Amino acid sequence: MRIDEGWFSSSGAEDDVAVSSRVRLARNLFGFPFPPVMSKEEEEQVQREVTEAFEKLKYSFEAIYLDRLPPLERKILMEQNIISQDFCVSPNKLVLLSGDGRISAMVNEDDHLRLTCMRTGLCLQEIFAAVDELDSRLEGSLHFAASIEWGYLTSRLDNAGTGLRASVMLHMPALVTDDTIGWALKRINQMGLQIKGYWGDGDHSLGDMYQISNPLCIGYREKEILASVGEAARELVEYERKAREESTKSRRIELEDRVHRAFGVLKACRLISSKEAITLLSTVRLGIGLGMISELGIEVVTSLMIRAQKAHIQKMLDQMDDDTDNKLVDYTRAKLIRHALEGHVREDNNV
Amino acid sequence: MRIDEGWFSSSGAEDDVAVSSRVRLARNLFGFPFPPVMSKEEEEQVQREVTEAFEKLKYSFEAIYLDRLPPLERKILMEQNIISQDFCVSPNKLVLLSGDGRISAMVNEDDHLRLTCMRTGLCLQEIFAAVDELDSRLEGSLHFAASIEWGYLTSRLDNAGTGLRASVMLHMPALVTDDTIGWALKRINQMGLQIKGYWGDGDHSLGDMYQISNPLCIGYREKEILASVGEAARELVEYERKAREESTKSRRIELEDRVHRAFGVLKACRLISSKEAITLLSTVRLGIGLGMISELGIEVVTSLMIRAQKAHIQKMLDQMDDDTDNKLVDYTRAKLIRHALEGHVREDNNV
């Protein structure tokens, strides 16, 4: 497991607004109870069957048994959005992870198998194709529980049918600033989709990051789900771009001031909290999108938003427990960010 | 009159804490009423006599008739601390200014003649010597009002006797932060001296700048006044240095963070108010004093604290009236500061 690279370290389509896309398929093995009610022996048998099926694939996957992992490294997987919070703290869990960190499978989360593909940018079709191919290959060795009436059977009803959840993370600072974010969220809900702040509750989200997804996997075909989430995401991308255009028209200098101050502070600070780091990185991200900062790739910012989280910093410090001095974490976070931004800054950045 | 250079643009002794020293002599011509009660004709006659006396000197002085000066340029003289606020707005006033901007004479302020010398750093003896020599030379052509009992006669009693007011401007951020500034001010008052915030009232002063001076010119000899103000200033310099030492011991990283953030924002901002500029420059000044910023001379900061004031900025914009768009002033101030700091920053400043 690497802490400095992963699905988050490349650039992607429309990534001025669309930070990342994620597709997940829920599958269960025929003849086993669902994870919430299965015995330890059944859990281990499912792990064995899944592992064997993965070993037959042409891809190389790393099998990570969470019980054998230091708690800090589990948290890193959680911060990279590869495993869920519940999964992170449950005993006897297994995750399979592709070499590039983009494809992963949680074994015995709510379902026996949750296949996920994640990438930067807006690319639902592309990542669905990857996860769909994996699903088909696995079906060669695994017998997935399904019925003609219901489709794939899952532990929770809303995941049944396709088992497909498609989501897109969107960075919408201009809609937040011009106070139309509430309207935009409502519009997405009216389209039958769900949207929520990624770091925070309700209309406000730290770093102005919002995640849109389909609430139900059942009752729609896969391509309908991908199309509706994709179209809604594209609509939000356009709203946000329009709002950015308006604000650069009416308040260009104020915006440049905010962007360059955020960039200046990140390049200068010696102590920084996770919360402040995300807020300032969000502003720098906006500045890159608006062409106000040209010397920095947007993927550097996406990557820092993941890597500036606490467990990643503790791992850099090789501190294996939760008692790490917070000041040392804030100091190391500042150093990581400074160095990452400086490494991408051209020599003439002061002109 | 230059707006980018003056008494404030060089470095000086102990200037990590002692920003500048100032000495003023009040003199009046025999046979004329004091300025508050004199006629226009008498005012003009005093101006003539003083101008003629200055013309006989070996130094070159520029005679500046305020009535002939655009209001903006009067304000620049005020922002450079060369003329007082009352003098700035009164009709029919004259100021004589030396080429390097260090020595000046206000004619018909509260007294017929107020000779002033100002320099950066702690240097009361040196600047007194300069103004004392000028005074002696002028006495060759002007008959100053004096009595054996009172010494020099002045419009206000507290200026009589020596007519000497010595003052030192001190930068005391560490005493403000560790909350001992109140104690330090009280101690100075107990020594029979006066001290006040330079930009602000009471214990709090914008930019943590305080000015110490003698309250009375009468009852002491010149060298006693210089010694008491100089010793008190030196005592404050030591208190402040001690407080800085303590704070770098106990909170070095927090202090480095504050200093580098301030420097980072000043190098990055696109809009900045006068108040924020002074606050951040004060923190950068502290950082230079502590050796945390090594690429910048302290005189650059002293100079910017003068040059970032509103009239100086308006002059850069060639805007002659008070109606200048505040946003344009804030924008130009940010540009001035960025360029001034970048001009003094070594190429390796990002490392």
pLDDT digits (tens, 9 = 90+) for A268-317: 999 999 999 999 999 999 999 999 999 999 999 999 999 999 999 999 99
Tell me the three state secondary structure of residue A65.
strand
On whether the CB atoms of residues A127 and A117 are closer than 8 A, the answer is yes
CB contact under 8 A, A268 and B253: no
Amino acid A318: pLDDT: 80
On whether the CB atoms of residues A8 and A281 are closer than 8 A, the answer is no
pLDDT tens digits, A219-244: 899 999 999 999 999 999 999 999 99
What does DSSP assign to residue B102? S
Helices (H), chain A: 40-55, 71-79, 85-89, 124-139, 173-177, 181-190, 222-268, 274-289, 298-307, 310-316, 326-343
**A351 min Cα distance to partner chain B (Å):** 8
Least confident of A139-153, A200-214, B328-342: A200-214
pLDDT tens digits, A54-69: 999 877 899 999 999 9
Contacts of A351 in chain B (CB under 8 A): 342
Mutate to test the interface with B, among A253, A261, A341 (most CBs of B within 10 A): A261
Distance CA A175, CA A182 (A): 9
CA A12 to chain centre: 13
CB contact under 8 A, B269 and A270: no
Amino acid B125: pLDDT: 97
Amino acid B319: pLDDT: 67
Contacts of A270 in chain B (CB under 8 A): 253, 256-257, 260
Amino acid A323: pLDDT: 64
Contacts of A260 in chain B (CB under 8 A): 268-270
DSSP letter string over B231-248?
HHHHHHHHHHHHHHHHHH
Report in angstroms the alpha-carbon separations of B37 from A177, B43, B83, B118, B158: 60, 10, 20, 29, 18
Which neighbouring-strand residues pair with B114?
A: B26, B106
Q: What's the average model confidence in pLDDT over B50-73?
A: 91
CB contact under 8 A, B267 and A351: no
| Closest chain A residue by Cα to residue B260 | A268
| Closest chain B residue by Cα to residue A255 | B270
Q: What's the average model confidence in pLDDT over B115-140?
A: 96
* Nearest to A121, CA basis, from A17, A236, A225, A230: A17
Least confident of A70-74, B199-203, B342-346: B342-346
Residue B343 touches partner A, C-beta closer than 8 Å: no
Residue B342 touches partner A, C-beta closer than 8 Å: yes
CB contact under 8 A, A350 and B351: no
pLDDT tens digits, B69-96: 988 999 999 999 999 988 988 888 999 9
Give every CB contact of residue B154 below 8 A, 6+ residues apart in sequence. Answer: B26, B28, B34, B110, B111, B160, B163, B217
Chain B residues 271-310 with CB within 8 Å of chain A: 271
CB contact under 8 A, A260 and B271: no
Most confident of A317-331, B71-85, B194-208: B71-85
pLDDT tens digits, B212-232: 999 999 889 999 999 999 999
Question: Which of A257, A265, A331 lies closest to B270 in CB terms?
Answer: A257
Residue A254 touches partner B, C-beta closer than 8 Å: yes
Contacts of A253 in chain B (CB under 8 A): 270-271, 327, 331
**A340 min Cα distance to partner chain B (Å):** 12
Burial B314-333 (b: 16+ CB within 10 A, else e): bbbeebeeeebeeeebbbbb
Phi-psi region of A207 (alpha: psi -120 to 50; beta: other; left: phi over 0): left
pLDDT band for position B1 (cuts 50, 70, 90): low
Is pLDDT of A349 > 70? no
Residue type, B200: G
pLDDT band for position B348 (cuts 50, 70, 90): very low
Ordered by start, the domain boundaries in chain B are 251-341
Phi-psi region of B133 (alpha: psi -120 to 50; beta: other; left: phi over 0): alpha
On whether the CB atoms of residues B222 and B162 are closer than 8 A, the answer is yes
CB contact under 8 A, B264 and A268: yes
Q: How would you class A31 by CB atoms within 10 Å of its CB: exposed for 0-12, middle for 13-18, buried for 19 or more? A: exposed
CB contact under 8 A, A347 and B347: yes
**B123 min Cα distance to partner chain A (Å):** 35
Amino acid B91: pLDDT: 86
pLDDT tens digits, A107-152: 999 999 999 999 999 999 999 999 999 999 999 999 999 999 999 9
CB contact under 8 A, A268 and B254: no
Mutate to test the interface with B, among A251, A252, A265, A347 (most CBs of B within 10 A): A265
Amino acid B342: pLDDT: 85
Contacts of A342 in chain B (CB under 8 A): 350-351
Amino acid B9: pLDDT: 87
Q: What's the average model confidence in pLDDT over B18-28?
A: 97
Amino acid A201: pLDDT: 61
Is pLDDT of B113 > 90? yes
Amino acid B349: pLDDT: 36
Is pLDDT of A46 > 60? yes
| Closest chain A residue by Cα to residue B339 | A351
Is pLDDT of A25 > 80? yes
Chain B residues 311-340 with CB within 8 Å of chain A: 327, 331, 334
* Strands lying side by side in the sheet with A113-120: A61-65, A94-98, A103-107, A113-120, A18-27, A164-171, A209-213, A194-197
**B302 min Cα distance to partner chain A (Å):** 22
Is pLDDT of A330 > 70? yes
Amino acid A52: pLDDT: 95
What does DSSP assign to residue A350? G
